[in-house]
Amino acid sequence: MSETNPAAAAEVAAPHRYTAAVAAEIEARWQDFWDAEGTYAAPNPKGDLAGDPELAAKPKKFIMDMFPYPSGAGLHVGHPLGYIATDVFARFQRMTGHNVLHTLGFDAFGLPAEQYAVQTGTHPRVSTEANIENMKTQLRRLGLGHDKRRSFATIDPEYYKWTQWIFLQIFNSWYDDEARKARPIAELVAQFESGERAVPGGSSWDALTAAERADVLGEFRLAYASDAPVNWCPGLGTVLANEEVTADGRSERGNFPVFKAKLRQWNMRITAYADRLLDDLDALDWPEAIKLQQRNWIGRSEGARVDFPIDGEKITVFTTRPDTLFGATYMVLAPEHPLVEKFTPAAWPEGTHDVWTGGHATPAEAVAAYRAQAASKSDVERQAEAKDKTGVFIGSYATNPVNGEQIPVFIADYVLMGYGTGAIMAVPAGDQRDFEFARAFELPITCIVEPTDGRGTDTSTWEDAFASYDAKIINSSGEGVSLDGLPVAEAKARITEWLERSGVGEGTVNFRLRDWLFSRQRYWGEPFPIVYDEDGIAHSLPESMLPLELPEVEDYSPRTFDPDDADTSPETPLSRNEDWVNVTLDLGDGRGPRKYRRETNTMPNWAGSCWYELRYLDPHNDRQLVDPEIEQYWMGPRAGQPHGGVDLYVGGAEHAVLHLLYARFWSKVLFDLGHVSSAEPFHKLFNQGMIQAFVYRDIRGFPVPAEEVEERDGAFYYQGEKVTKLLGKMGKSLKNAVTPESICEEYGADTLRLYEMAMGPLDVSRPWDTRAVVGQFRLLQRLWRNVVDETTGEVTVVDTEADEDTLRALHKAIDGVRQDLEGMRFNTAIAKVTELNNHLTKAGGAVPRPVAESLVLLVAPLAPHIAEELWRKLGHTDSVVHQDFPVADPAYVVDETVTCVVQIKGKVKARLEVSPAISDEELEKVALADDKVVAALDGAGIRKVIVRAPKLVNIVPA
Ligand code: ANZ
């Protein structure tokens, strides 16, 4: 120890000061204590509550974080922001009379571990489990009050057994549109057998072969294999969900090209739930922005289907504007539309316009050439608002049902196969894409909506389409129906009624949502509990064969290809393991032992997070997914939560449509099938902001280690070279990561917790500043000093009553902190604790015991270790965790008042003493009722009142 080191000297003078070393000792000791005592064990509604009426009477709170992926890089200080917030909230709920369930597991399947395995040969399980251990150590250091008995990882076979089981529930059910719910597939089979429901295709169920029956059922199952076009990414060697493809048609991960390819893949029929997923959003307590993203993603459009006769058959289109039917001057099919061949004749009809043929000798040639061109574009590229519309006439005409006109049929890539019916009626006067196409192909443009912008009805002079919902329909009269003069909404209703009456169409609702592509060509995921018999029919494994564990393999990587080579197809890692793939099994279906081939795809890494909230409730149940009584207790519907669900779910906004939509879908299926009482997984959702950090880059643009950057005269230098500074993400790759351990070592976990919570409102992103952390450390030092003598280590509080001033400060703090913690305004709660603590410091002298105790309780949710220690020092023998949170005495909370000036025509007529928190409305009422004001107005009416609460009211008489 050096004599000249002031900090060291201070430590000699004050051996009991709250220092980093003291914090480290206290924190480790209490963490051991909590573990040993099971302090955070949530009660089991079946066991614990049954024998304890007091416990049973408490309301429940299930508080959850989006669980982490155990990455090899470990945590930086940005990661635990949400975990600390939920922990503070959970602690507050425990102290305000709730049974709290709070724990954290790991979402551990996924690509990074697999890629690491490919590079190093380490089994993904080995690296993943090591990462989990490392993360657990990091998290434990933060003093999070998790019920550790309930933690698990999605890669645990005891967990994914149930993921597979749920898959089978979904596979073995269908959506009954009339009942608006999922039902067991056996009930559908019974309907087909009895004839109650007609078998699609018209034959009787008995007459169908096993394979034909399987095909029919495949059209109904909620999980089904199909050859639909999917997003194939040769560069990754796997197919991707729509949600994993970027707006410019590349893989979100790796940025490789993505192609449409027909491959046999598993899908989940999430579209069956589109309406319910939309409707049930209303009752959820979620940020509006996230609800909006889900609504847009589901994309409900109301419109009509209209049949256009062609060669004794028909082409059906979906339109949101059936009122524009009289303006439909041509039709467009998606290039992949299955009817294209059928209506492509051998030769061009007489008088075909040159620009329609693309210069090809026959329609078939033109179609083939155009299709090849379209296949190389992604959906997004095709939908891009490119001015030059391309397409080709297929050589046939269809009939516009409303006026009998013959209109040419084109294929063009701006019409997508995956939306509506894959065919449109083109209305160039009303739709900009159709307008551009009509101009390019010299097609007629019929004005059917009277322009309200002065351009007139001569479409040859128009520069773009005209769209307005307020305009009136014109030129739209035919046999049996006229829309002329009607506003759009009425015209829509009238034409829809006519379509239905004439049997050529019907009103319909269309969704943007697509079924969820559910298979991946990967190793590190849940194997499908599905085997195929010799006829290629898929069978469920019986529950007794679950979990179906991943086999050991030599090579973990899917085969990848030249990223630009669309003519490739996936080869899965599991398929190379013949012994595992080819099996003889008795499935217990009465058919005895038979040969089967296993499904060799694995589930996407979203699967494990679709239901994990349920497993926290009953993590060791090996007979059921979750005991219904336990599920009902923690998740069931209640007042204000009609669909039930987790009471608080905290995580990043980036999960708006993937995880959150998938999890909602699985919940609903499980609910329909009677396995759970909650139809929604997460009642309240909160998105925390991000902790950002400064990124320093050298002149080449490469990040340099942030820690080693020096600041001189407002400029930044690294090894003598000037660098630039910009706010960005925190992370290893940007060389600006700060680990929680480093902060814990320097100040302790309580300081880190306080700092993260004090940085700003939880939902706002904020820049990390290591130099500012010490401020929270000083707060804890002052708190400590208000209770403990730094020289002797003795408690200094006195058993006297507090003075009036202190009581006021105390109860205002209690009142404010309580409200702030309940409202998750942790930053302002800390400001109030600081204020109270400063009041006590300034007041000087020993702190009265009741005040000190309340202060410690206020701090307990935020900085639990120091609170536990001080609580013990104050003579208590039980943990601070389960104490009652202080309640403010209203007598001390009443606000001081401020003086409000009331003016009439700018002259002061009265002064009012009002609360500083008074609202504009209330202040206006009080002012207008004031005797002096009433007298001054002398019966005159009031033209206007300008209120600036709490200080000013200005009345303008009539
Ligand atoms: C005639 C019409 C007239 C249309 C008009 C629009 C304006 P949303 O709102 O997104 O549902 N459409 C239908 N299926 C399509 C497909 N597979 N590919 C590309 N476009 C398609 O859009 C529905 C509208 O988009 C439909 O209404 C149809 O064009 C087009 F003044 O029909 B509309």
State the average pLDDT over residues 91-107.
98
Residue with tokens 């202060």, as numbered in its chain: 855
Q: Are 686 and 649 in contact (CB under 8 A)?
A: yes
Break the chain into its structural domains and give their ranges: 1-37+747-894, 184-270+516-598, 300-511, 895-957
Ligand 1: does its nearest atom lie under 6 Å from the Cβ of 301? yes
Q: At what angle do helices 749-758 and 774-785 cross, to 10 degrees?
A: 120
Which of residues 720 and 13 earns the better pLDDT score? Answer: 720
Q: Are 689 and 767 in contact (CB under 8 A)?
A: no
Residue with tokens 């609800």, as numbered in its chain: 291
CA distance 49 to 43: 7
CA 438 and chain centroid, separation: 41
CA distance 731 to 745: 20
What distance in angstroms lies between residue 318's CA and the mean position of ligand 1's atoms? 7
Ligand 1: does its nearest atom lie under 6 Å from the Cβ of 449? no
b/e per residue 841-850 (b: at least 16 CB within 10 A): eebeebbbbb
| pLDDT level of residue 812 (50, 70, 90 thresholds) | very high
Read off the tokens for 402: 């409303």
Annotation: CATH topology of 1-37+747-894: Isoleucyl-tRNA Synthetase; Domain 1 (1.10.730)
Cis-peptide, bond into residue 619, ω within 30° of zero: no
Maximum distance among all alpha carbons in the chain? 108
Ligand 1: does its nearest atom lie under 6 Å from the Cβ of 466? no
CA 314 and chain centroid, separation: 41
**The predicted structure's pLDDT at residue 745:** 97
Closest by CA to 546, choosing from 141, 117, 157, 5, is 157
Whether the predicted pLDDT of 426 surpasses 60: yes
Tell me whether strands 691-697 and 721-728 are parallel, antiparallel or unpaired. antiparallel
Q: Are 683 and 644 in contact (CB under 8 A)?
A: yes
SS3 assignment, position 442? coil
CATH architecture for the domain at 895-957: Roll (3.10)
Residue with tokens 């590079």, as numbered in its chain: 119
**The predicted structure's pLDDT at residue 385:** 59
| pLDDT level of residue 165 (50, 70, 90 thresholds) | very high
**The predicted structure's pLDDT at residue 857:** 98
| pLDDT level of residue 599 (50, 70, 90 thresholds) | very high
| pLDDT level of residue 520 (50, 70, 90 thresholds) | confident
Ligand 1: does its nearest atom lie under 6 Å from the Cβ of 324? yes
CA distance 914 to 900: 7
Closest by CA to 814, choosing from 864, 769, 850, 768, is 850
Ligand 1: does its nearest atom lie under 6 Å from the Cβ of 322? no
What distance in angstroms lies between residue 229's CA and the mean position of ligand 1's atoms? 21
What distance in angstroms lies between residue 300's CA and the mean position of ligand 1's atoms? 13
| pLDDT level of residue 1 (50, 70, 90 thresholds) | very low
Nearest CA to ligand 1 atom 7: 431
CB atoms within 10 A of CB 13: 9
Torsion angles phi and psi, residue 501, rounded to 5: -65, -40
**The predicted structure's pLDDT at residue 215:** 95
**Residues 6 or more apart in contact with residue 438 via CB below 8 angstroms:** 329, 330, 426, 428, 444, 445
Question: How confident is the model over 111-137, as pLDDT tens digits?
Answer: 888 888 888 889 999 999 999 999 999
**The predicted structure's pLDDT at residue 263:** 83
What distance in angstroms lies between residue 320's CA and the mean position of ligand 1's atoms? 6
What distance in angstroms lies between residue 674's CA and the mean position of ligand 1's atoms? 39
What distance in angstroms lies between residue 526's CA and the mean position of ligand 1's atoms? 39
Question: How confident is the model over 889-904, as pLDDT tens digits?
Answer: 998 987 678 899 999 9
**Residues 6 or more apart in contact with residue 864 via CB below 8 angstroms:** 30, 91, 143, 145, 750, 880, 881
Query: Mean pLDDT score of the chain, rounded to an integer?
Result: 94
CA distance 407 to 391: 15
- Residue to substitute in 301, 414, 424, 459 for testing ligand 1 pocket (most ligand atoms within 8 angstroms of CB): 424
State the average pLDDT over residues 412-432.
94
Q: Which atom of ligand 1 is nearest to the CA of 319?
A: 27
Tell me whether strands 907-914 and 898-904 are parallel, antiparallel or unpaired. antiparallel
Q: Which atom of ligand 1 is nearest to the CA of 334?
A: 17
Nearest CA to ligand 1 atom 25: 319
CATH 3.90.740.10 is held by the domain 300-511: yes
CA distance 741 to 796: 32
Ligand 1: does its nearest atom lie under 6 Å from the Cβ of 320? yes
State the average pLDDT over residues 282-308.
96
Whether the predicted pLDDT of 608 surpasses 80: yes
Question: HEC states along 591-643?
Answer: CCEEEEEECCCECCCCHHHHCHHHHHHCCCCCCCCCCHHHHHHHHCCECCECC
Question: How confident is the model over 835-859, as pLDDT tens digits?
Answer: 999 999 999 889 999 999 999 999 9
Give CA separation, 621 vs 599, 609, 625, in Å: 27, 18, 7
What distance in angstroms lies between residue 649's CA and the mean position of ligand 1's atoms? 38
Ligand 1: does its nearest atom lie under 6 Å from the Cβ of 415? yes
Ligand 1: does its nearest atom lie under 6 Å from the Cβ of 430? yes
Ligand 1: does its nearest atom lie under 6 Å from the Cβ of 419? yes
Question: How confident is the model over 371-389, as pLDDT tens digits?
Answer: 988 877 766 677 665 668 8
Give CA separation, 155 vs 65, 520, 578, in Å: 18, 16, 23
What distance in angstroms lies between residue 296's CA and the mean position of ligand 1's atoms? 16
**The predicted structure's pLDDT at residue 387:** 64
Q: In angstroms, what is the C-alpha Rg of the chain?
A: 34
Ligand 1: does its nearest atom lie under 6 Å from the Cβ of 316? no
Question: How confident is the model over 196-231, as pLDDT tens digits?
Answer: 999 998 899 999 999 999 999 999 999 999 887 788
Q: Are 415 and 333 in contact (CB under 8 A)?
A: yes
Ligand 1: does its nearest atom lie under 6 Å from the Cβ of 420? yes
Q: Are 728 and 734 in contact (CB under 8 A)?
A: yes
Nearest CA to ligand 1 atom 14: 420
**The predicted structure's pLDDT at residue 386:** 65
Q: Which atom of ligand 1 is nearest to the CA of 422?
A: 17
Tell me whether strands 766-767 and 691-697 are parallel, antiparallel or unpaired. parallel
Task: Give, in degrees to the nearest 5, the angle at Cα 741 between 735 and 743.
Answer: 85
Ligand 1: does its nearest atom lie under 6 Å from the Cβ of 630? no
Q: Which atom of ligand 1 is nearest to the CA of 327?
A: 3
**Residues 6 or more apart in contact with residue 434 via CB below 8 angstroms:** 424, 426, 427, 428, 465
Nearest CA to ligand 1 atom 10: 301
H helix or E strand, kind and range, residue 888 = none
What distance in angstroms lies between residue 935's CA and the mean position of ligand 1's atoms? 65
**The predicted structure's pLDDT at residue 28:** 98
Closest by CA to 259, choosing from 279, 239, 287, is 239
| pLDDT level of residue 247 (50, 70, 90 thresholds) | confident
Which of residues 341 and 2 earns the better pLDDT score? Answer: 341
